[in-house]
Structure formats: structure tokens, C-alpha cells
Structure 1
């Protein structure tokens, strides 16, 4: 296995008297779309230019839901990689508690991570019992509606400025042969749509109370019933969106075959690879044009505990490189996300990234679901919305009742 090769490459013959050797460090992640591959290549390039080590790419096709079980199985099964991607939050909590992840506190204190990582909740999500176990590398927000300017031009209607205008334009889009709303069939995509609708239409406070405080009374309210009615509209608008992957849905927007997509800001990477320009070829509406808010989720890298000083040195080197100012800029411009450093120059940011930076500067932020609710609870909610979007006979009212039960039992 690659991890075993890394260990062999890192072995020493004379103990501490021999200088650190170059390591082939396997890094696992689920970044496989065009925009994602371009972004992760920036990490690999920086790691190999700034150190003597080699990045061994361990991309796992599919979403995080597909990749995470594989990653966890390898770590718990004694075949750890050098570094692995997770999302900010509680996804790796059990691995940390089991003593399988490296403590990065000493490195973080030496480099002053708390002085430049913004918002501080990102590093808090890497912290357990006062110790830091991961490196946040970006801020990803899912609170966006991406619109094809061409699709609306073909349909003879103005590009919408909010969710209500988007819904009102759906009949014209359908008449012009367009799919109003592109949604892939992966379970997390339908849950993302609901979470964005909830935050945009009911407001950030309602989102925090439901996912953070597990407020069943609010979840059962008429206010949230309106969100479920909007989710019903969304599934009708997406009825002919016959794609699986999120980036396939993004491509429908890029090519003008769909009017819009509710998706995280990582979609920007796909628009950039396609040569499209924000504000000209496509339009972005943070918070669906209703409640402009940035979700401070995103990606972080953890480093499995490997009893080898050479591998440990390479792991620390990668952690440091990922947070260096130039790497943060290069990676996030390709990824479509925002940097975790509050002290970097983003003069090259496009129209949509600037919108995100402005919202972040105003402090209009919420935490990601993974930071508020356990992975098991979110899987159950994923399952509900997968069923809702695929079963027209499941009414909004019944789905809301089941949602209330899941919120009540969530951890």
C-alpha cells in the first residue's frame, strides 16, 4: 500500500543522527471534478516546491459520503494515509477520541494559527479538549444560487435577483426547453437545497435554533412549513434534472440547459475551468438573494498518527504549507472558496468571491451543519430529503413531521 511505502521511504538506519529523509506522503481527498482537481494541484505543487517531500495523490471518486468511510476504514484498520481531507466539524471526532490522529497544537502555537485564521470557529472545530487536530484550508459556503445568464436570455425573462423571482421564471424556462433547477441525485445535494432554503427563507436564527439547539417547536412551526412548501417547489422545478453528480448539475447551468443550481461556492471552480466570467456569463445570489449569509464550513486536513519521525516531519511540513499565504491564495482562487487567513491579498478575486468576502467582513456568518449536528443525525436527515425529492407522494406536511422527529432525536 502507498502508506506502507511512505513508511519504508521514511525509515532511518542510524536513528536521530541521520537527517530527515524525503517522504512520499499519500494525501486522500474527494476532489475529482475539473475545478477541484485544478485546486488540489496547487497544494501538491506548493508542497513539492517548498519541501523535499513528494505528494502522492489519493483521490477517491465520488462525494465525501463515499470517500469518508473508505478513509476511516483505512485509518482504523492500520493502513493510514499521510493526510486526509474531512469537512470542518465532527466528522473525525471519534478518530481523534480513539487516539488515531496527530495533535498539531505545538505547530499551531509555534506558527500562531489563532492570530490569522478567521473566523475563529474554524480552528475551534479542529479543537478537542484544548488540543488542535486539523488544518482548516478554506471557507466554503453552500448558501448560493448560481444562474445561467444565457438560459434566462433564451427564455426572454430577466435574470432573477431573489428566490421568488427565480420561481416565477420557471414556466418561461420550461417553455424554452430548460430545466429550471438543476439538482444531482446524490443524497447530500437534496439536503443542501433544504438547508439553504431554510436559512434563506426562515433566516439564519431559525437555522441555528433547529440544527444547533434542536428546537422541535420551531421545526414544527408554520414558518418552517413555508420552507417545506418551497422545497416542494424546488423538487418540481428539478423534476427533469436527470444527473447524478453535483458538477454535472453545474454543467447544465454552464451550458445554458438549466436556469440555476443551489450549490456551494465550490461550483465557481467549474465555471472558471469552463472559461466563464462572473457577472457576465453567470450570476450568483448569496442567500438566494434573501438573507445574505456565509456558512463557515469547508475543508480541513487531518494527519493520522504514524509512529515514524520522518513521516511526522512531512505531515507538519504539509500542514504549514497549506496555511502559507501564497498557497492559500492560489488554492482558494481555483477552488472558488474563501481563504482561512484574514491577512492575504485577494486582488484577483472575481465578482462572486468579492460578494462572499463582503458578507464575511460584515460578520453575517453561520456554522456548517457538521459543526452543529453529529454525522449520524445528518445522515438520517439526508435520507429523508433523498426520499422527499424522489417520491412525489411524500407530501411536504408529512416530510415536516418526520423532520421534527429527527431534530428531536438529533445529537
Structure 2
């Protein structure tokens, strides 16, 4: 059975249990690029097939723009029926305030603890033993995406790691290319720095700082090298003047730039453009230095609404999002990895297969959202914006970064 028919079959099964009268659910999220829109359409299609109605509430501008709007609506008494957050602590205060629907009964009925992998995805939204989210994907932000044609036109081999990429930058510039594409959204520079941490300092050093909260290591020479490397990368991105992340991805897709540090969601943009992984573009997880994935990604939370029919539809939507058929359809379009360990992804492309191999190996780390509070994440995001967009000395940025971490360690 092909994937499309599998999805329809699953939707038909779901429809049998749907309420006779359609219930409309407004769902807010920040997926607005071409690849993202194609992915979220799979959710909408499957939910509508249950007899209910997905009312799309896309908010442009990324998570940094959308989250304050979402939180304001929930705390202000105008909740949507479902909303996207990233894995981690972003919705913790809302859960603790009693504003989010408890999904434990859904999770138990659907056997989520037996099929969702890694377990940290559920742990990140479990409070006092109760589950409050439906994880939908695993997104790792530490990938280097390369235009094969850009390097061919520059007369140099396609790099296999970050060091080779930096070494190829002069040839790219001589060929009129932007070595490193980077947009002006604040989180992009923070993402690039996060990816460079493990690539330059190493996995053990990263864990010492971010998991063990060792501030001596954070202030030490290993991380001084990370900030020096980031300063060099800043020069490679100096001529990148686009705003949105997908605009930066498009510079790579159209061979105007050599590469971009971006999450695996960039795959969705390459797919929409008809590009073939391993042929038109190359992807390097862990910047080609350390083959690991961080278990970031997206989950949906369901604000409490005093209406039994809406609550029933909310739980139906939560179960659907985690179902096998929908996991396959959504993640193939999104470029992310499924949160289930029991789905068939025979259609996965070269890059997704790399991700699946790393996921199976267990070489995983938590994301910054999981190990630091939203306040610390925001402070360092602001610092990275200043660092990447000015001539701030790496030593000064390093010192400020350590101070930010100390306030939350």
C-alpha cells in the first residue's frame, strides 16, 4: 500500500470514531514557509477526514513572534483549541497554572510511552506524572546544508565537514558566492552558534556545560575556541542580507550561497524546489564533525476550553497527530524525523536516512530549551544577535555568555 492510500485508510478508521457533528478547532502554529505549509496541510487533511474541521491559525514570523501571541491569548482568556510549542519548558508555566488539557488518558489509550522515542520527548511535557502534550516530530538544528553546484562553480570539492567548508570560503567568494547564508531573525544566529558548540568544543564539553552546568568549563579554553570560530563564521556570512530562514535556504537552493547552518526543516524547502538530496545538495549533521542529533522539535498543547465537544475533538486531534499514518505523511513533508520508533519510512531521502541512522544509534543530546529556562535562552539569543551583527569581540561575548548561564545554573 502506498503512503497516500495508507493515510486515507488511517483517516477512515479515525472517522469511524469521530463525532457525528463536525467540531471546529482553531490550531495556531508558526509554519508558514512552502515546505512547512505542505507539512501542516497533512495534519489538516487527516483531521478534516475525521468529520471535524481544522481552522488554521498560522502566525508568520517564526516562534519568537508567535509564542508571545499564543501565550497572551491563553492567559488572557481567548485560547485557541491547540497550539504549537517546541519541546522543552516553553509551556511549563501554562501547565502549572492549570491552563492546559491533561492528555494522560489519550497517551495511555494510544500506548505513547511504548512507541514514542526518545522518552525525553514525553518527559519534557510531563508534570507531576501527567502528560500535557502530543509530540509530533524530532528536529535537529545542527546541520550544514550545501549547494553542490556552488562548489562545482567555485572549482572546489563539496566539503565533508565544517573545517573543509571554512577552507573553501575564499574560492566561493572568488566565484561571486556568499560562503554562509544567514538570515536576520534572532534565533538563526543563536542556532548557528549552538551548532558550532559541539562541532568545535566536542560533545563531552557541551554536556559538561549544558547538562552538568559546569561553569568552569563554560569559561575555559574549549569554549573560547567556539567563540573564535563563530567570529570567523560571522565574516563568512557578512554579505548575507536576507531576513527569514527560508530566504537564506533559498540562497543555497539557487546556488547563490555555498551553505547554511539550519535545522533539518530546511529539507522541506529543498523538496518543494524539486531538489534531490545527495545530488543537488549535501547535508552534514553535526556540521560533519560529530554525528549526533539534539532531540528538539515540536509538540502540540491543548488549552482548556469549557466545552465537552471541543475537549473530545482536542483529544481526537492529539491521538491523530501521533498516529503512524499521519506521522509518516507529516514528517516526509516537514523534513523532520518521526517521534515513533515503529513507522515505515521507506520513502526517506538521503538526508532523512542519515538522521534515522543517528537516531537509531542513540547519539542524542537534549536541546537548549530542555536544559535552560526560557529566560536564559532569550538572554543568549539576544547576545548572539548582537555578536553576529556587530564587531563585538569574541572574548567579550564569551564572558557575557558565561554570566548569562550562571544566572540560571
TM-score bucket (shorter structure):
over 0.9
Contact 1:210 1:407 in 2 (8 A): no
Q: Report what 1:328 is aligned to.
A: 327
Q: Report what 2:407 is aligned to.
A: 409
How much does 1:39 deviate? 0.2
Q: Report what 1:16 is aligned to.
A: none
How much does 1:52 deviate? 1.3
Q: Report what 1:30 is aligned to.
A: 30
Unaligned runs of 5+ in 2: 1-18
Quote the Cα distance in structure 1 between the aligned partners of 2:31 and 2:224: 35
Deviations 1:10-36 (A, max 9, x none): xxxxxxxxx763211000000000000
How much does 1:201 deviate? 1.7
Contact 2:89 2:370 in 1 (8 A): yes
How much does 1:65 deviate? 0.5
Quote the Cα distance in structure 2 between the aligned partners of 1:122 and 1:205: 22
Quote the Cα distance in structure 2 between the aligned partners of 1:276 and 1:133: 38
Deviations 1:40-74 (A, max 9, x none): 0000001111x111000000001100000000000
Q: Report what 1:185 is aligned to.
A: 184
1:25-174 equivalences in 2 (<5 Å): 25-49=25-49, 51-174=50-173
For residue 396 of structure 1, the aligned residue among 394, 398, 402 is 394
In the alignment, structure 1 residue 354 sits paired with structure 2 residue 353: yes
Q: Give secondary structure in 2 for the equivalent of 1:260.
A: strand
How much does 1:212 deviate? 2.7
Quote the Cα distance in structure 2 between the aligned partners of 1:310 and 1:204: 48
Unaligned runs of 5+ in 1: 1-18
Structure-2-length-normalised TM-score? 0.94
Number of positions where the alignment pairs a residue of Structure 1 with one of Structure 2:
391
How much does 1:386 deviate? 0.3
Contact 2:142 2:262 in 1 (8 A): yes
Contact 2:296 2:366 in 1 (8 A): yes
Contact 1:144 1:288 in 2 (8 A): yes
Contact 2:205 2:222 in 1 (8 A): no
Quote the Cα distance in structure 1 between the aligned partners of 2:72 and 2:227: 36
How much does 1:319 deviate? 0.4
Contact 1:20 1:310 in 2 (8 A): no
Quote the Cα distance in structure 2 between the aligned partners of 1:20 and 1:349: 36
Q: Give secondary structure in 1 for the equivalent of 2:279.
A: coil
Q: Report what 2:274 is aligned to.
A: 275
Q: Report what 2:14 is aligned to.
A: none
In the alignment, structure 1 residue 213 sits paired with structure 2 residue 212: yes
Contact 1:201 1:291 in 2 (8 A): no
Q: Report what 2:306 is aligned to.
A: 307
Contact 1:229 1:396 in 2 (8 A): yes
Quote the Cα distance in structure 1 between the aligned partners of 2:124 and 2:334: 21
Q: Give secondary structure in 2 for the equivalent of 1:147.
A: strand
Q: Report what 2:5 is aligned to.
A: none
Quote the Cα distance in structure 1 between the aligned partners of 2:257 and 2:81: 40
Q: Report what 2:9 is aligned to.
A: none
Quote the Cα distance in structure 2 between the aligned partners of 1:43 and 1:320: 11
Deviations 1:68-115 (A, max 9, x none): 000000000100001000000000000000000000011111111001
Q: Give secondary structure in 1 for the equivalent of 2:275.
A: coil
Q: Report what 2:6 is aligned to.
A: none
Quote the Cα distance in structure 1 between the aligned partners of 2:321 and 2:170: 46
How much does 1:119 deviate? 0.5
Structure-1-length-normalised TM-score? 0.94
Quote the Cα distance in structure 1 between the aligned partners of 2:196 and 2:252: 19
Contact 1:149 1:282 in 2 (8 A): yes
Contact 2:92 2:125 in 1 (8 A): no
Q: Report what 2:384 is aligned to.
A: 385
Contact 1:200 1:292 in 2 (8 A): no
Contact 2:83 2:300 in 1 (8 A): yes
